[in-house]
Amino acid sequence: MASSLISRQFALSLQKNLHLSAPGCRYVSKAAPKTQVEFDYDGPSMKTSVPGPRSEELTKQLGHIQNVGAINFFCNYEESRGNYLVDVDGNRMLDIYTQISSIPIGYNHPDLLKLMSNPNNLSTLVNRPALGILPPENFPEKLTESLVSVAPSGMTRVQTMACGSCSNENAYKAMFIWYRNKERGHNTPSEEDLSSCIINQSPGCPELSILSFMGGFHGRTMGCLATTHSKAIHKLDVPSFDWPIAPFPRLQYPLEEFTRENAQEEARCLEEVEDLIVKWRQKGKPVAGVVIEPIQAEGGDNHASSDFFRGLRDIARKQGCAFHVDEVQTGGGTTGKMWAHEHWGMEDPADIVSFSKKLLTGGYYHKDEFQVDEPYRIFNTWMGDPSKNLILSEVLNVIRRENLLEEVNRSGRALMNGLFELQAQYPGMLSRARGVGTFCAIDICDDKTRNRILITARDKGILLGGCGDRSIRFRPALVFKEYHVHLFLNIFNDVLAQLK
């Protein structure tokens, strides 16, 4: 195993000959930078097609316990390193999907292994506290050095939760509570509020709504699901709320070539948002909050301009609605900034910012006025998990120490350049290359070809994910360097040539 780990020297010599040594290479790299991911492997290595026989066997076993329709393959996490995911059949793949965008600094990062082998941290692993009532001594400190240290502009408060869906559910609740307190003009609920809410009736359980966007994804629990509109299979058969759904701009790419058309489309959507807010207020179901992703991820990597988000923020403020930016997939550095909304350049970008995935714990930041007035309104048994805060602290240290956001910007540029070149080379197959940092995507001519590309790439050692109807999304870890970009582009070129 150790012999497969790449040394700096070896990586350097390898990169110099990259276009020769990579199997089936046709795409000529423009740069061959030195890799600094010392705990990485030197490239993909495939022994079977994927899933291999051992994965098939385990899938069969698991099939007795669970639906296994979504299982790709089984993994050997012990042997996985950096950007490489190793499966149980000994296949080693360059991972550009990273557990649905949730691995921040690669597999088995040495600093994390060191952290978790420190006996001082054992107690955090075996005694999970009820954080809302009995937090550990270091909880304020760990929050301060982790989540608070990367708080979005205008926010100093953060509530941790166990996962992304719980984060959004509780953020919605915070917006509803805020809205009703505003309506009441004071914080004391009436007797009628209290007696009606216990039986699900208004005014205690008011007819309020959250405005969301077509193509948006905010999770799969019932509150979140009412704001999720990416794929029918997520929502089918589950009761929902009559909440307004606005169109998300359908832009033309590259954005800078279609500024006029895109501005028109965004103006149309903003107008529709304002109309819906008015309409739902008239229907007696006022919009307490607007929720949006900075880049619609699951829905197909749909971008919108800073102007659009500024306009939306203004409409929300003007209409008295809270503004919730869902950074569950975009947060954590993958766009080259800690939060994607930082690209908008606003001092007051949001009232609430939710996160999970790369942040390892779920949760949401909020402005002071969204702090609930009484305890137990936003509450559950665990309220997160200190063992995840512990790992997050170290992840943030690594990000700072290794300047990983800079690396993301560098890799992102290389990736976009490569995608543009491939798009020019395969115009019938590829289109709409788009991205910020390494949060990139490209469209394939059709769904079937997209899926063939994903499978062929996987068999050549590149793990990618789909999104939307026919897009491929790139979601590497923050340790995905230029070196890995070129490695990927070479193999991807090979796949495209094979399938064209």
Binding to its own copies in span 87-116, by CB under 8 A:
88, 99-100, 102-103, 107-109, 112-113, 116
Binds its own copies (CB under 8 A): choice among 2, 3, 70, 185: 70
User: Smallest distance from the beta carbon of 389 to its own copies, in angstroms?
Assistant: 12
The answer to the question of residue 149 lying near its own copies (CB under 8 A) is no
Residues 84 and 476: beta-carbon distance below 8 Å = no
The answer to the question of residue 260 lying near its own copies (CB under 8 A) is no
User: Smallest distance from the beta carbon of 271 to its own copies, in angstroms?
Assistant: 19
Binds its own copies (CB under 8 A): choice among 21, 48, 72, 306: 72
> Within the chain, what is the greatest distance between any pair of CA atoms?
77
Q: Which of 77, 73, 14, 9 is nearest to 38 (CA)?
A: 9
Closer residue to its own copies (CB): 277 or 429: 277
Residues 487 and 22: beta-carbon distance below 8 Å = yes
Binds its own copies (CB under 8 A): choice among 2, 9, 65, 186: 65
Report how far Cα 458 is from the mean position of its chain's Cα atoms: 21
Show the site string, 271-310: x = touches its own copies by CB under 8 A, - = not.
----------------------------------------
Identify whether 379 is a catalytic site residue. no
**Locate tokens 């999304």: which residue?**
473
Identify whether 361 is a catalytic site residue. no
Identify whether 217 is a catalytic site residue. yes
The answer to the question of residue 401 lying near its own copies (CB under 8 A) is no
Binds its own copies (CB under 8 A): choice among 20, 375, 401, 428: 375
The DSSP result for 293-358, as a single string, is -SSBTTTT-B---HHHHHHHHHHHHHHT-EEEEE-TTT-SSTTSSSSGGGGG--SS--SEEEE-GG
Binds its own copies (CB under 8 A): choice among 76, 409, 417, 456: 76
Both tokens of 357, joined, read 């995935």
Binds its own copies (CB under 8 A): choice among 90, 135, 247, 320: 135
Report how far Cα 324 is from the mean position of its chain's Cα atoms: 15
Q: Stretches 142-150, 248-256, 346-354, 487-495: which one binds its own copies (CB under 8 A)?
A: 142-150
Q: Which of 465, 459, 425, 460 is nearest to 441 (CA)?
A: 465
Distance CA 492, CA 454 (A): 10
The answer to the question of residue 127 lying near its own copies (CB under 8 A) is yes
Q: Which residues are catalytic?
A: 217, 326, 357, 381
